[in-house]
Structure 1
Amino acid sequence: MNDDSLMYTENFTESGFVFTPFNVDEKAILFPSEKATFLEEVLLLNDFNFDKNESLVDEDSKENHIKIVEKAIDEINKSDLQKVVISRKESVQLSDFELLLVYQKLLKKYQNAFVYVWFHPNVGLWLGATPETLLQISDANFKTMSLAGTQVANKDSESTFTEQINVVWKSKELEEQQLVTDFIEKQLATISSNLKIDKTETIRAGNLLHLRTKVEGKLLEKADLKSLIRALHPTPAVCGLPRNMARDFIIKNENYNRSFYTGFLGELNLKKSNGAIQSSQLYVNLRCMEINHNKASIYVGGGITKDSIPKNEWKETVSKSETMKKVL
């Protein structure tokens, strides 16, 4: 950007880079392509020592998170709520923070993820390495995915999308994944054609394993990019089902503002090299952190269903925060 003014998009018809909050009622920030400078660089990544994190557990945060999860399970058992994603924010004090070094570590740790640094003087500094694609679209052809279910990998790895063998998934994770896939299929039914849903696979993201199901199709002429985005965001993988009920529960009970965590970001309506095809590549803002002065706020969460065990859900958020702590 050539100035520090804030610009927004509502219809997603512009070209540039978009950074969107979780709450769809809040505005999506746009860096317009006509006001941006594009640079390309090849980085040679060093071998980094990712030390084991020895940070202390915040007992108050643990107790609060477990209570909210218990409340979510109770709500699921007595209402139409099927799933809700409960998240929290964890603070880490920083010393000698080097932005480029942290970014290089993220690139090394998540070699196939969408790794980013985003900054605006009127908003702040965000970093992330997300394994989840919200949407890739070129002309009318699009690809998306459902990504849910989490378990800790047996061995640490620097790769992101590495298929695992002999992985056993419990019914809770399998059900959670199916809920997300069914939602996406239903949402896309009236605005797309030639919908193809691949077989569910196991992928690796840092020290975690996830279930992923790829989905692709073609947007109907009566639909547009905005309708496609609104159909998908927020997905049950970051919100829940039914979507409005889960969103209301999150806003009422999480006791903090997610801001851009579980929103989406990426390239919007950029023309390919031949100049004839417009494409957008948008990613769900997971595995992310906000840097403010000498503090990093790390955002983590997990899907809650009727089969969830509160203490295990807490442990999952701890596992999800480990990689970000290591790169710091």
Structure 2
Amino acid sequence: MELTQAVKALQQALRKELPDTPGVRIMSVPLSLAGNQEPLCWLNSQACWPQFYWQHRDGHEEYAVLCALRTFTSLAEGQRFLSCFPEYPELRLWGLNAFDPQHGQLFLPRLTWQRQGSQARLVLNLYSETSLREAAAEAESWLSGLCPAAVIPELAARVCEQVHLPAEVQWLALVTEATQAISRGQFDKVVLARATDVQLTQPMSPAWLMHASRQHNSRCYHFYMAFDSRQAFLGSSPERLWHRAGRQLSTEALAGTVGRDADDSQADQQSQWLLKDKKNQHENWLVVEDICQRLQAVAGQIDVEPVQVIRLRKVQHLHRAITATLNYADDTACLMQLQPTAAVAGLPRKDALAFIYAHEPFNRGWYAGSAGYLSLATSEFCVALRSALVQYNNVRLYAGAGIVAQSNPAEEWLEIENKVAALRSLFS
């Protein structure tokens, strides 16, 4: 059925008698995918926050999530909430984990537009600490206030100022300092990041940037969280942090980078070089070893697949898939063991983080954290890379590079320029 019909069907279902007791209910109705419905446009048309959009990198799953019934400041807090409702294993929380995994912003949504494969549904959650009957009446009224989808307006602003943190000279010096620290044995690898603040002549629609990034950046997870009408964090990331179905876990090592030429034959040569380059192979294998070592604390058998090259719009990466069987279906344990990975922090983790916190001239916040969902049945989070924080007419873009003993400062600057170009080029 069409979206307006689906909303009416939900309202009708809400009129059925519900107990005057606390609890949870999930209601859903099928949706037609005819007419090229655009969930991001629909989401952006609603005057209710938070809003969350998430599309799987394979394209087979897409979600537009609206309005919080309850919020959580950490994944652990959210997991404890879900454990109170084992009769609803598919009940999902959505949101972000910060670079510091102790902190997050996740929420139980009121309404979800979801597509799984060729099937779409509109899912309504009811939650109340006092009365489901009252929650149903409130939800019926709230549904009446939904707006039809409107086209996201094109960006009319232009760039008037751009500042890098750190600037190029400071970056070159910082990479040199990092390689010297590695040679002294302080750590094996550190991932250094740069923030680029872009000032625009007028406010940018975060939904427009998400829409444009999704069109141009294939094979990426697309994530978007609007905190209010002026502020959002979004990105298009190639990297899965973890997927869990029951006790089966899938994660990966995505480290080692080279540019991607527009010419396919040149891109093939770059790909072959990447597969043979000892510096990049070493960087990737360090990440693999770290992930496997950390998973040993929470999982049984661990398997690593052969290395592949993942091609994106501007860069290519070395990739190894890793699977494991968890001792328990525990997403908090997965988060704490896997984030931040060596691909976004370094090795050993504690020493690399100490260097990052001492030397980076900005707070990473949500950058290099993770974005996605969790439920008792399944969970999936991508690493929050190739990302931007939009605040009115200021856009902060993030990119990072893994520094090892053989790193060349100028080449590392070029690498982060290539990475940030995935978003920066959209509003040049």
Same fold (TM over 0.5): yes
Higher helix share: 2
Contact map agreement 1:113 1:129 (CA 8 A) in 2? yes
Contact map agreement 1:81 1:242 (CA 8 A) in 2? yes
Name the structure 1 match of 2:371.
265
Name the structure 2 match of 1:176.
283
Deviation at 1:148, TM superposition (A): 0.3
Higher mean alpha-carbon deviation, 60-69 vs 243-252, is at 60-69
Q: How many residues align?
A: 306
Change (3 A) 1:165 1:77: closer
Name the structure 1 match of 2:100.
23
Contact map agreement 1:149 1:177 (CA 8 A) in 2? yes
Cα RMSD after superposing both structures? 3.0
Deviation at 1:23, TM superposition (A): 1.7
Change (3 A) 1:259 1:58: closer
- 1:168 and 1:243 map into 2 onto residues whose CA distance is 29
1:167 and 2:272 matched: yes
**Code of the aligned partner of 1:37:** L
- 1:215 and 1:60 map into 2 onto residues whose CA distance is 34
Contact map agreement 2:370 2:384 (CA 8 A) in 1? yes
What TM-score do the two structures reach when normalised by structure 2? 0.66
Change (3 A) 1:196 1:164: farther
Higher mean alpha-carbon deviation, 195-204 vs 114-123, is at 114-123
Equivalent residue of 2:366, what SS? coil
Equivalent residue of 2:213, what SS? helix
- 1:237 and 1:150 map into 2 onto residues whose CA distance is 11
Name the structure 2 match of 1:274.
none
**Code of the aligned partner of 1:255:** P
In the alignment, which of 227, 242, 247 is matched to residue 353 of structure 2? 247
Name the structure 2 match of 1:326.
425
Name the structure 2 match of 1:292.
391
Change (3 A) 1:145 1:233: same
**Code of the aligned partner of 2:390:** I
Equivalent residue of 1:257, what SS? coil
1:145 and 2:219 matched: no
In the alignment, which of 327, 333, 356 is matched to residue 227 of structure 1? 333
Contact map agreement 1:4 1:120 (CA 8 A) in 2? no
**Code of the aligned partner of 1:128:** G
1:136 and 2:212 matched: no
Deviation at 1:111, TM superposition (A): 2.8
Equivalent residue of 1:308, what SS? coil
In the alignment, which of 165, 174, 191 is matched to residue 68 of structure 1? 174
Name the structure 2 match of 1:110.
217
Name the structure 1 match of 2:7.
none
Equivalent residue of 1:37, what SS? strand
Deviation at 1:301, TM superposition (A): 0.8
**Code of the aligned partner of 1:313:** E
Equivalent residue of 1:261, what SS? coil
Change (3 A) 1:16 1:10: closer
In the alignment, which of 85, 90, 110 is matched to residue 36 of structure 1? 110
In the alignment, which of 69, 72, 79 is matched to residue 185 of structure 2? 79
Name the structure 2 match of 1:201.
308
Runs of 4+ aligned structure 1 residues displaced above 6 Å come to: 162-165
Equivalent residue of 2:262, what SS? coil
Change (3 A) 1:60 1:79: closer
- 1:299 and 1:320 map into 2 onto residues whose CA distance is 9
What TM-score do the two structures reach when normalised by structure 1? 0.84
Deviation at 1:196, TM superposition (A): 1.3
Deviation at 1:194, TM superposition (A): 2.7
**Code of the aligned partner of 1:138:** A
> Cα deviations across residues 240-271 of structure 1 (Å, max 9, x unaligned)?
0000000111011002100000001101116x
**Code of the aligned partner of 1:30:** L
Contact map agreement 1:163 1:201 (CA 8 A) in 2? no
- 2:199 and 2:211 map into 1 onto residues whose CA distance is 20
Contact map agreement 1:164 1:203 (CA 8 A) in 2? no
Name the structure 2 match of 1:189.
296
**Code of the aligned partner of 1:311:** A
- 1:257 and 1:139 map into 2 onto residues whose CA distance is 35
- 1:199 and 1:2 map into 2 onto residues whose CA distance is 42
**Code of the aligned partner of 1:17:** W
Change (3 A) 1:166 1:130: closer
Report the identity percentage. Answer: 24
Equivalent residue of 1:327, what SS? helix
- Relative contact order (C-alpha < 8 Å, sep 6+): which is higher? 1
* Bigger Rg, which one: 2
Change (3 A) 1:7 1:166: closer
Deviation at 1:112, TM superposition (A): 2.5
